[in-house]
Amino acid sequence: MPFSVSWHTLLEHLDELPADATLITPLSHSHIHITDIQEHRIIVQFDESSEKRPLQRDQFESLYRQIQTAHDGFDLDRLPPDADPYPAVLSVHPRFEIDEDAGVIAETDGPTTTQLADTAHEPDTDDDRTEPDGLDIYSDGLLLIDALERHDVTDLPDLETATLVNLYTLLSDVQRDANDFRQEVADVLLSRLHHDRPVAGQYGSVQRTSRRNRSLKDDEEVLSRLEAEGIDRERVMSVDRQKVDEALEVTTLTESDVYEIDESEYVRKAEVDDDVKESRLQGLKDRLAASEETEAEELQQEIEALEERIDDLTSFRAGTEVQG
C-alpha cells in the first residue's frame, strides 16, 4: 500500500478526534494535543509548555518505511531525539499500534489501540477520590494530616510531649509506608523506562539509571591474584572489626583502647498502638463521609432554589394573574 493512502487515512482519523483529545508519547510520556491538520504536516502542542511543533509528512513516511521493513515492529529506542510525538500520532491510524512493554510500534491487521489518554478515568476533581483498599500509606497519611491540622507545628517546642510522640510515630510510619510503596512503583516503572530518557509527569520526571555494587571475592583468591602481580599482601591487609571484637572478649583491653567512640542520642519508635490508630482513623472516615453528605445536600438545595428562580423568571403568566 502506498504511503499516500496511509497518510490520508491518518489525517481523516485525526479530523475525527475530539478537540480536547490528548495523546501520550511512548518514551517521555508527554501529553500532546493536535492543534492543526494540514496536507503536508500536523501541528501538535505540549501540555507542559506552550510550545507548538510541526510534524512533517516526510518524517511520518520515513517512520512508516522503517516499520514496514522491521521484523517485529520498529524499536522506539531508535527514534531520533525529539521524535517521540511521531509514533504517538501515527498510532491514531487504525493499522498501527504501540507496544510500550516491548518498546516497539508495529503494523497490524487486527484491532489496535491508540496513545489517546483515557480522560474519563483521570481523577481531575476531588469528587473522583476513592479510598484505596489495603494501602497503609493512605491510612497513616490521613492520620498524619489530621494531626498536622489540629496542632500548630510551626513552633514545636510549645507542643506537649504526647503530641510530639504522636507526630513522631506517624511520621515514622508514613516514611516506612512511603518507602515500601515507592519501591513497588519503581519496580513497575523500570519496565517502562528506556535507557536514560527522562519521563515526565505532572509533579516531576524520572529516568532509568544504574549503579555498581562491588564485593570482594574470597580472601585467598584476592591475595593470590595480587601477589601474582607483585603486590605484597601486607599492603592490602586491614584490621577486621569482627575479629577485634572477639579479641576484646579474651583480653583486658576495653573498647576505648582500640575504638574512637563518639556517642550521640536519638529518638527511636518503641511501639505503635494500632487499635488507637484504627479507632481514630475510622472516626476521620466517618467525619469525612458526613461532611461530603452535608455538602451534597446543601448543593442540592441551592440547585433546587436556582431552578425555582429560573422557573419564576421564564414562565408565562397572564397579566391578571400577575396583578392578583
Please say if the pLDDT value at position 190 is more than 50. yes
Summarize pLDDT for 253-295 with one digit per residue, the tens: 888 888 888 877 666 656 777 777 777 777 777 777 776 666 6
Report pLDDT for 188: 85
Q: Give me the residues paired with residue 46 across strands.
A: 32
Q: What is the average pLDDT score of the chain?
A: 80
Mean pLDDT value across residues 107-121: 67
Torsion of CA 69, 70, 73, 75, to 10 degrees: -120
Please say if the pLDDT value at position 71 is more than 90. no
Please say if the pLDDT value at position 318 is more than 50. no
Report pLDDT for 302: 66
- Report the chain's terminal Cα–Cα distance, integer Å: 78
Please say if the pLDDT value at position 85 is more than 60. yes
**Rounded percentage of the chain residues whose pLDDT exceeds 70:** 79
Tell me if 160 sits within 8 A of 168, measured CB to CB: no
Please say if the pLDDT value at position 128 is more than 60. no
- Residue 305: pLDDT band (50, 70, 90) is low
CA distance 138 to 140: 6
The ranges assigned to domains in the chain are 3-107, 136-192, 204-272, 276-307
Report pLDDT for 234: 82
- Residue 313: pLDDT band (50, 70, 90) is low
Report pLDDT for 62: 93
CA distance 165 to 297: 39
Summarize pLDDT for 285-298 with one digit per residue, the tens: 777 777 666 666 66
SS3 282: helix
Mean pLDDT value across residues 193-203: 71
Please say if the pLDDT value at position 98 is more than 50. yes
Please say if the pLDDT value at position 323 is more than 50. no
Of 132, 131, 134, 136, which Cα lies nearest the Cα of 177?
136
Mean pLDDT value across residues 144-172: 90
Summarize pLDDT for 1-60 with one digit per residue, the tens: 688 899 999 999 999 888 888 999 988 888 899 999 999 999 999 887 777 899 999 999
SS3 55: strand
